[in-house]
Amino acid sequence: MEDYTSRGEFALIDFIRRCAASAEAVQAGIGDDCAVLSAPTGPVVVTTDMIVEGVHFRKEDPLRQVGWKAACVSFSDVAAMGLSPSALVCAAALPDDFSMEQAEEIFLGLNQACAEFVVGMIGGDTTSSRGPLSLCTTVLGYASAEFKPILRSGAQVGDTVLVTGSLGGSILGKHLTFVPRVDEALVLNSGFDVHAMIDISDGLAADLNHILEESKAGAIIEADRIPIADAAHELSKRTGKTALQHALTDGEDFELLFTMAPDEAERLMRGQNFREPVSAVGRITESGLFIEQAGQRRPLKPEGYEHFKGMGGKKK
């Protein structure tokens, strides 16, 4: 295969420019020093994520799926705010021995995600690397009078805690192929009074704790109500951990975790018109984080995936 360095960075940029998805908000995309976006009246949300070979994906994983994941982890962050992503930039550090075909596969995956969610791929940066493949995406989303950002800090005592989809075992494949819950987020934001929301990237226990920290509240989770994925049961056969443990702590499910008043939760549950079911898994309390199982209540440690555990447990 042809080494991408033999044709040069600009050949790769030209390929990206020719295939890049566009969107209504993009006035000028790739080709200038900055992209130009039309900005509706209202706040703009911005998120950035990095995925690195050996940490977030394996060297042998399909590169188009790696590109999809790079875009969708950031789309999921915007969805967690109750909004839709509008524009994406990506910085890529490509190993020196990469072929042009390999580089193109990554950007085809990025573009596939952008086209699926009508997001403009408006630029970024490419560089060679003596280390592993690394991709950094930054995504913008617009708020409006109808779609206001939903923060982590609004959970109220008495709220029902809900989650989309099923949890655990994402390492068996979902972590590369997941669909960010953008459509669901927009329905929730426009049709319901959601008090707080986050996407599950670190694990149910850890990400719920993020809501609790910001909301200065506690929660009780009911183990029997947690929607455990088939992959979590499969993974438990290999690891010795229970499927419940995987559902609580694995991370990279990229489902929505949110809170709302009990009557709103009941109205949502009656409708159940999402592509994946919604489950009520607990309630917000004044303090602490607990799990109830078989009639017993015990403290639940907010464990999940963390980078830098060897550096004092710094959270990502």
- Judge contact between 170 and 250, C-beta under 8 A: yes
Q: Where are the domains of the chain?
A: 4-142, 152-302
Render pLDDT for 177-230 as a digit per residue (tens, 0 to 9): 999 999 999 999 999 999 999 999 999 999 999 999 999 999 999 999 999 999
Give how far Cα 31 sits from Cα of 6, 141, 215, 228, Å.
22, 22, 43, 46
CATH number of 152-302: 3.90.650.10
Quote the pTM value.
0.87
- Judge contact between 166 and 227, C-beta under 8 A: yes
Q: Give the DSSP H/E element, type plus range, for residue 17.
A: helix 9-19
Number of H helices, E strands in the chain: 10, 13
From the list 146, 156, 260, 152, the residue with the least C-alpha distance to 197 is: 152
Band of pLDDT at residue 273, cut at 50, 70 and 90: confident
**Fold of the domain built from segment(s) 4-142:** 60s Ribosomal Protein L30; Chain: A; (3.30.1330)
Check residue 58 and give its pLDDT: 95
CB atoms within 10 A of CB 3: 13
Per mean pLDDT, which range of 88-97, 130-139, 223-232, 265-274 is the poorest? 265-274
Asked if residue 147 has pLDDT above 60, the reply is yes
**For the residues 38-47, what does the mean pLDDT come to?**
79
CA distance 76 to 83: 10
Strands (E), 14-102: 26-28, 36-37, 44-52, 85-95
